[in-house]
Structures are given as C-alpha cells and as structure tokens.
Amino acid sequence: MTWMGVQDALARSPEVAFRGRLRFSFDAMPLVADGLSLSKRLNLMRCGVDALLPAGRAFGLPPAIQIEPTNVCNLRCPLCPTGSGSSRRKSGFMPLGTFRQIIRELEDALVSVILYGWGEPFLNRDLAQMIRHCSERGILTATSTNGHFLQSVEQALRVVDAGLRAIVIAVDGSSQQTYEVYRKSGSVQKAQRCAAMIEEAKARRNSPIPYTNLRAVATRGNEQDLANLEQLAREMGVNMFSFKSLGGLSQAEDLEDYMPLDPHLRRYEYRGQVRQRKASVQCPYPFRQPTVFWDGTIVGCEFDYDLEAPWGDSASSLSTGYGTAGRRSGCVAPFAADRDAPASAPAAPTRIAPPIAACCTAWSCARPPDDRHEELGGDF
C-alpha cells in the first residue's frame, strides 16, 4: 500500500487528521477511505510517528491486515505453494467466528482488509458475509480470485451488495492455450465470465465498485499474449488491466521454465548464474499489514506461508502481544539486514528472515520497471 512510506505518511497526514480521508492504492488500484473515526485517525498518526523513528517499538496497530479465507484451491498453478502442493500447512477454511474476532480486536485501527491468502477465497462460503461485516464497520475490502466460483450474476450481486471495493481477477491468457500454461486445471472461459458477471452486477446496481483489475502473471507462456489481453480487458469494460512479474513462490526448481524470455518482464536480475534481488528495502508489512491465516495463525507477512516464524496463534495476539512480537529490533531489523544477500545464499538465522528472504515477491526484489498497470476508466 502506498501510504506505508515516510514521505507518503507525511503527505497524507493533513487529509487524514482534518478530513478523516485516506487515499491510497492496493496493487496499483486507487482506493479512498472516507469518514475515518477518530481512533483510526489517531492510529494512522501513530503509524506515521513509527515511520519516522529509526527503530524500536511499533506504537500503531496495523491499519491494514491480510486475512486468508482459505488455503484450499481448485487450480494447480505450478509456482504457488498451494497449487504446486509444496505448502506444509494444513488446509482449511476460516470460520466466520474467527474472522469476526479478528475484526473486533482491530476494529478501532483497521482501514482495509485484504481478503485472500494462499487459496481461492471464493471457496469460503462466508466470503460475502466477511465483506459485509467489514463494510458495516467502515473497513474497505479487496480480494483476488481465479474467478471459477463466481459464475452467475446472482453471485456477483451478493459481492457488490456486500460492498467489496476492489477485486483482482486472474486471467492469464486470451486463449485457453496461453491461459493454462500457468493456470493449470483452469478454464479461461470461467475466469473471463467472472469479470463479465461483476461488470453486469455493477451495471444493474449502478455501482462503481468493486474496482475491477484484470490481471495476468507474466510468464513465458503468455508474454506474447499480453497485448491481446489488454485489448480483451478494454472490451470487457473492467477498470484496469495489469500484469505482474512472476515470482518463485514455492522455490520451485522449474522457475526458469516459466520465466518470460523478455528481460523487462522479469522480476529478478542475474549475476552469472546467481539470481539477485534488485533492491534492498526495509519491509513495512509486519507492522502495517500482517497476515492472519485461515486457522488464526498470525505471521508478519503472507510470504511466511510455511509458518517459519509465526507471531501467535489467535487473533488476540495481534492487539495484546503486538508490542512485543512486533519489536523492530527483534523482527524487521535482522530481516532488513538480510536483504542484500543473494537469493541463493543460506538463510540467516533470524526470526523472520528465512521464509521472507527466500520467497518474498513484494520487496526482496524491486518490481521491474515494466510491471505494468493501465487504468481503463469507468466512473470509479
């Protein structure tokens, strides 16, 4: 989210403090949180102070959180820990009660909830209720889907009526042939139909939301197809077309087989045979957007998908244990220090460095300049 950095925090402070409004983006999608309560404004201010302090304790509670409705999926994407079958976590679905407990714990701080993890969120039958629960409390929601379980306008209306703000729909090819290179077991027709149903439901309700982002993960199988996909997105009337560079989510040995040939579409740069991160940054996620997996386990970042360094095992750890578990000195600092090591180096024996250093696709390497998103318009 763009408001995580120091400069952003400073630039947005007056609007947050005096108007109760925060403009930010999630995955390049523009979002606006309006009517923020005093407690949320104060928490954002605390987060701003945290951003200015070089180290120490995090005073603010997370204003955003990623919650995994399920880690079960119908597709077999080869570089996803779930799709590849390499994940070591148990599979399951978050009960609505757990979800409500997490929201209750953080309600006074939360601005947005990201509703997906390592699975297909629409497989959780309570997803629309989770979205509605957040909307009723002034909390924005965004999700990402492979589209296969949203196939009728009635299903789409439930999501629109629940107040979902933004949705990424994974359509990785304009034809079944290019689509299924990465989205194994998937149907391009279903993925496209999902986007069409959401647009249809928005039109029926005369609603500008959810903001729709037709998204492809750029691979060798679809790199020649991205222009067709962009054209398709325009024809479908979605709000955005984007493509995202491929990451080695499951540390699969066959990453290179899927890597696009065009170096501009790649996320990594190479020094000889060594895959090298492109940038060194201090990650804000553990303090600003931690993740809760379906069973209530909290991790500093979604990329700790095999629970190398869980922070706690219940929602209450987030607010009661946050100050201790989230100390920068114990968590982010060593993790940041490890960032300059080449990806092939052995992981440092730090608390959260190993999982994140090994597979982070958000920060451990800069997005290549050609990672692209194109706003296509609409009334949003």
Ligand X SMILES: C[S@@+](CC[C@H](N)C(=O)[O-])C[C@H]1O[C@@H](n2cnc3c(N)ncnc32)[C@H](O)[C@@H]1O
Task: Please give the single-letter amino acid code of residue 241.
Answer: F
Compose the 186-225 pattern: x for residues touching ligand SF4 by CB under 6 A, - for all others: ----------------------------------------
- Closest-CA residue to 289 (of 122, 109, 167): 109
Q: Under the criterion CB under 6 A, does residue 169 sit at the interface with ligand SF4?
A: no
Using DSSP bridges, classify how beta strands 211-218 and 240-245 pair: parallel, antiparallel or unpaired. Answer: parallel
Least gap, CB of 318 to ligand X (angstroms): 22
The beta-carbon contacts of 363-369 under 8 Å, at least 24 apart in sequence, are 363/279, 363/281, 363/283, 363/285, 363/339, 364/277, 364/339, 365/267, 365/268, 365/277, 365/278, 365/279, 366/277, 366/278, 366/279, 367/245, 367/267, 368/245, 368/264, 368/265, 368/266, 368/267, 368/278, 369/264
Question: What does 213 interact with, of ligand X, ligand SF4, none (CB < 5 to 8 A by kind)?
Answer: none
Among 87, 143, 146, 317, binds ligand SF4 (CB under 6 A): 146
Beta bridge pairs of residue 140: 112
Half-sphere exposure of 4 (CA within 13 A, CB side): 21
- CB of 157 vs ligand X, minimal distance in Å: 21
* Count of CB atoms situated within 10 Å of the CB of 346: 9
Does residue 247 bind ligand X (CB under 6 A)?
Answer: yes
Binder of ligand X out of 71, 144, 291, 317 (CB under 6 A): 144
Binding of ligand X at residue 217 (CB under 6 A)?
yes
120/199 with CB nearer ligand SF4: 120
For residue 201, the partner it binds in ligand SF4, ligand X, none, with Cβ less than 5 to 8 A by kind, is none
The dihedral sign for the CA sequence 26, 78, 304, 148: positive
168 binds ligand X per the rule CB under 6 A: yes
Out of ligand SF4, ligand X, none, what residue 99 binds, judged by CB under 5 to 8 A for its kind, is none
- Using Cβ positions, the residue closest to ligand SF4 within the complex turns out to be 83
The answer to whether residues 48 and 4 touch, using CB atoms and an 8 Å cutoff, is: no
Select the binding partner of residue 317 from ligand SF4, ligand X, none (C-beta < 5 to 8 A, by kind): none
Is 77 a binding residue for ligand SF4 by CB under 6 A? The answer is: yes
Q: Should residue 249 be labelled a site residue for ligand X when binding is judged by CB under 6 A?
A: yes
Tokens of 54: 């070089």
- The option from ligand SF4, ligand X, none interacting with 244 (CB < 5 to 8 A, set by class) reads ligand X
Q: Which of 116, 179, 211, 293 binds ligand X (CB under 6 A)?
A: 116
Q: Judge contact between 350 and 338, C-beta under 8 A.
A: yes
User: What is the number of other CB atoms lying within 10 angstroms of the CB of residue 375?
Assistant: 15
Q: Does 146 bind ligand X (CB under 6 A)?
A: yes
Q: Which is nearer to ligand X, 105 or 223 (CB)?
A: 223
Establish if 93 lies at the interface with ligand X (CB under 6 A). no
| List 120, 126, 199, 304, residue binding ligand X (CB under 6 A) | 120
Question: Does 222 contact ligand X by CB under 6 A?
Answer: no
Note whether 73 binds ligand SF4 by CB under 6 A.
yes
Smallest Cα–Cα separation from 114: which of 81, 132, 146, 140? 140
Q: How far is CA 78 from the centre of its chain?
A: 19
> Could you give the CA distance from residue 125 to residue 27 in angstroms, rounded to a whole number?
25
Phi first, then psi: what are they for 360, rounded to 5°?
-60, 130
Binding string, 337-366, against ligand X, x = CB under 6 A?
Answer: ------------------------x-----
Examine residue 299 and tell whether it contacts ligand SF4 (CB under 6 A). Answer: no
CB nearer ligand SF4, residue 59 or residue 149: 149
Helix, strand, or coil (residue 133): helix
**Exposed/middle/buried for residue 90 (C-beta within 10 Å: 0-12, 13-18, 19+):** exposed
CA angle 172, 130, 13 (to 5 degrees): 85
| 145 binds ligand X, rule: CB under 6 A | yes
| Binding stretches for ligand SF4 (CB under 6 A) | 73, 75, 77, 80, 82-83, 118-120, 146
Which parts of this chain interact with ligand X (CB under 6 A)? Answer: 73, 77, 79-80, 116, 118, 120, 144-146, 168, 170, 215, 217, 244, 246-247, 249, 361
